[in-house]
Amino acid sequence: MSRPSDHYDSRPQGVVQPKLGLTGWLRWFWRQLTSMRTALFLLLMLAIAAIPGSLVPQRSSDPNGVTQYFADNADLAPILDKLQAFDVYTSAWFSSIYLLLFISLIGCVIPRTKHHFQALRAKPPTTPARLGRLSGFTTRDAPEQTDARDAITHARALLKSSGYRVVRFDSDTESSVSAERGYLRETGNLVFHAALVGILVTAGFGGGYGFAGQRVIVEGQTFVNTLLAYDSFNPGRFFDDTTLDPYTLSLDDFSVSYEQQNLQAYGQPIDFTADVTVTPKGESAEPGVVKVNGPLRTNGTSIYLLGNGYAPTIQVTAPDGTVVFSDSVPFLPQDANLTSLGIVKVPDGLSEQLGMIGFFYPTQDKAASGANFSSYPDLEYPLLTLNVYTGDLGLDAGVPTSVYSLVTDTLTRQTGGKTGVASIELKPGASAELPGDLGTVSFVDNNPAASAAGDFTQSVPRFASFDIHHDPTQIWLLSFSMLVLFGLFTGLLVPRRRVWVKATTGIDGTVHLEYAGLARGDDPALEAAITNVADRHLKLLKTHQPVVANPESI
């Protein structure tokens, strides 16, 4: 006999998936994006995406380093620039991961928060029929003449005093209490994720309304907190230069302590200290100190110490005695002993434009090949060498050029190399004639009296490189970071447990007590906790003493 068409065996075999449609696909995509697995994956991707920012210099923090990277890697740098490798943290791909993580975290937190509030209002679950199938199951026999309901009353008071939410169940044959605690664990998880969202939002606002600027200051010089006074300046998207607080920053003294006891680390820097004076507009001057990892906070900005070096004072005089250049020029350190490279450009005042590439040696020494090098970073035997170039320095073309580099392709070399003319070598206080009757160049000594006695420690001024940072959201970032730690430790340390105590009256009138528990996740202390509850409960029944909370119980 044939089967009806609607018989089970007559239906098409296999599962036929319905068409999702646009709404279905959007719902599926949203569920995937807001899953915890996706959030963790995006967090990992964000960490990986940040790696290039530590491998190549960033325009936001080291614009001079980017310029130097282009000079050293002429073929690779343009490719990396197209990939936004020099602007990693504002790049399109990094921002995409950042925004997706932001949306994912919000999508994770909101449903979990709703579910958590519902769980907080719900009563603990009904006592299971078979407690013996649960973890930490143990039994006790109540003392004689103990009533089952009375035993559960004591158990309820005991668990409640230990921080459990409790509910009691009574029937004709048995009484029980269901207890639950550890909701702070889920609260901590929610606080952790909500605080992460807060950090992301706060960091976005801080990056939009803050700024970071760099300035090199030589001892004795003063910096004015105006936009044009910065060597490099990186404002946020919504930054307004009218919000800069007017103040001046003077570098009074820069001191360095070097290791001189341990021969294995001889000459290594121990401490850097920049003594400064800050003068807010219309107020009195205030002394301050800037150290490595010890920024100075003033007028809404944080001033960090980035680097330091020597700034020899160089003076160029024309043949008629006119001083055409006189300045303390920062020389960039090239090694641990502060062998330093500096550039001097004299565009006006001489018959030709003059450029000089100089090397400064704090403690000059000579290698076996005859080359100069510095054997110690402090000023013990300072020497300045200069190679002279003449020609068009390219300063009149209107194209910005770095003060730390000199393009020599179109210049004529006057000293050193194959010219047959020795490079100019100067000690503090010495002068030398420039080739081609251009004039003289002098290495100015800032303390000639001490240098004459053999003490060069004050003969050459030092410079300090400062990073001046403004972030209006620092307090918020600190607050959210503390909430992250609170949520993390709470989620890790607070156990989520359910405990049941059941009292059953036997035929002979004795009361049989059962104890069991259940944990969400791994809880190696659960069995010991159940045993502790059983022992305390039995002791309480024997003594009939009032219940006293024991914080060490569970």
Confidence band for 542, pLDDT divided at 50, 70 and 90: confident
Q: Calculate the alpha carbon distances from 72 to 29, 67, 75, 339 in Å.
A: 45, 9, 9, 20
Laid out side by side, the sheet with 286-291 consists of: 222-224, 247-258, 269-280, 286-291
Confidence band for 379, pLDDT divided at 50, 70 and 90: very high
Q: Are 45 and 97 in contact (CB under 8 A)?
A: yes
Report H helices in 352-508: 448-452, 474-493
Q: Can you give the pLDDT at residue 184?
A: 86
Question: What one-character-per-residue DSSP string does 291-345 give?
Answer: ETTB-EEETTEEEEEEEEEE--EEEEE-TTS-EEEEEE--BEE-STT--EEEEEE
* Average pLDDT value over all residues in the chain: 87
Confidence band for 530, pLDDT divided at 50, 70 and 90: very high
pLDDT tens per residue across span 330-369: 999 999 899 999 999 999 999 999 999 999 999 999 988 8
As a whole number of Å, the CA-based R_g of the chain is 38
Q: How many whole angstroms separate alpha carbon 330 and alpha carbon 282?
A: 31
Q: In a 3-state reduction of DSSP, which class is residue 134?
A: coil
CA–chain centroid gap for 109, Å, is 24
Measured in degrees and rounded to the nearest 5, phi and psi for residue 147 equal: -90, 140
Q: Are 134 and 225 in contact (CB under 8 A)?
A: no
- Has domain 123-182+495-544 been given CATH number 3.40.50.2300? no
Confidence band for 370, pLDDT divided at 50, 70 and 90: confident
pLDDT at 7 over 80: no
pLDDT tens per residue across span 72-118: 888 898 999 898 888 888 888 888 888 888 888 888 888 888 888 88
pLDDT tens per residue across span 186-219: 888 889 888 988 888 888 888 788 888 899 999 9
Q: Can you give the pLDDT at residue 551?
A: 46
Q: How many whole angstroms separate alpha carbon 29 and alpha carbon 22?
A: 11
Q: Are 465 and 187 in contact (CB under 8 A)?
A: no
Place of tokens 């179109």: 410
If one compares 477 and 14, the residue with the highest pLDDT of the two is: 477
- Longest distance between any two alpha carbons in the chain, whole Å: 127
Q: Can you give the pLDDT at residue 546?
A: 44
Q: Domain boundaries in the chain?
A: 26-111, 123-182+495-544, 205-310+466-481, 313-462
Residue 189 CB coordination number (10 Å)? 20
Give 298's contacts (C-beta < 8 A, 6+ positions apart): 247, 278, 280, 286, 288
Q: Can you give the pLDDT at residue 4?
A: 59
If one compares 409 and 223, the residue with the highest pLDDT of the two is: 223
Q: In a 3-state reduction of DSSP, which class is residue 82?
A: helix
Q: Are 292 and 274 in contact (CB under 8 A)?
A: no
pLDDT at 20 over 80: no
Question: Nearest 5 degrees, angle CA 271-CA 273-CA 274?
Answer: 155
Q: Can you give the pLDDT at residue 439?
A: 93
Question: What one-character-per-residue DSSP string does 216-241 give?
Answer: EEETT-EEE-SGGG-SEEEE-TT--G
Q: How many whole angstroms separate alpha carbon 375 and alpha carbon 365?
A: 6
Please state the rounded mean pLDDT for residues 272-279.
94
Q: How many helices (H) and strands (E) does the chain have?
A: 11, 26
Percentage of the chain surpassing pLDDT 90? 38
Q: Are 270 and 257 in contact (CB under 8 A)?
A: yes
CA–chain centroid gap for 179, Å, is 43
Q: Are 141 and 513 in contact (CB under 8 A)?
A: yes
Q: How many whole angstroms separate alpha carbon 463 and alpha carbon 274?
A: 9
Place of tokens 């302590």: 257
Task: Give the predicted TM-score (pTM) of the model.
Answer: 0.68
Please state the rounded mean pLDDT for residues 18-44.
81
| Residue in 357, 306, 350, 349 with CA at minimum distance from that of residue 331 | 357
pLDDT at 8 over 60: no
pLDDT at 422 over 60: yes
Confidence band for 443, pLDDT divided at 50, 70 and 90: very high
Query: Would you tell me the crossing angle of helices 36-49 and 92-121 to the nearest 10 degrees?
Result: 150
Q: Are 202 and 476 in contact (CB under 8 A)?
A: yes
pLDDT at 9 over 60: no
